[in-house]
Amino acid sequence: MKIKIGIACDHAGFKYKEKLKNYLENKNIKVSDYGCFSLESVDYPDFAHKLSKSILKNENSLGIQFCGTGNGINMSANKHQGIRAALCWNSHIAEQSRLHNNANVLTMPARHLEWNEVVEIVETFLSTDFEGGRHERRVNKISCN
């Protein structure tokens, strides 16, 4: 099955979201863009919610999102039951978020990363699979209703 990736951001993450879209499309990955679409100031939850809903509806396999610190857009995504958004600022954390947490959304802090770090984190996230086993039991306990 071909991987489908949804992407989202606020104004602070707009430049990296645009670069990432281009980067993924050049790798022949299908990308759906949930905004925002300019540098104009916007509210990050609006875009986190659109992206999260698309994953829960199986329209995308994974999501990647940015805001300035990563926190706001990550908190918003994690309000959706079934979304496991991981705030990652290096590739080790990204790797662990897939191996141990089965993260389905990668969140990055656009104002605190260089582009080469973004690429490294994304590559690691997309090439790492969930380990299962004892981690499956823990992941199954994340939902609280």
Tell me: does residue 67 bind ligand RB5 (CB under 6 A).
yes
The correct pick among 15, 18, 35, 72 for binding ligand RB5 (CB under 6 A) is 72
CA-derived radius of gyration, the chain: 14
Position 43, amino acid: D
What character string, x for contact with ligand RB5 (CB under 6 A) and - otherwise, covers 29-48? ---------------x----
Q: Which of positions 73-132 make contact with ligand RB5 (CB under 6 A)?
A: none
Residue 20, interface with ligand RB5 (CB under 6 A)? no
Helix ranges, the chain (H): 14-26, 44-56, 71-77, 91-99, 115-127, 134-140
- Counting beta carbons within 10 angstroms of the beta carbon of residue 76, is it exposed (0 to 12), middle (13 to 18) or buried (19 or more)? buried
Q: What residues make contact with ligand RB5 under the rule CB under 6 A?
A: 10, 12, 44, 67-69, 71-72
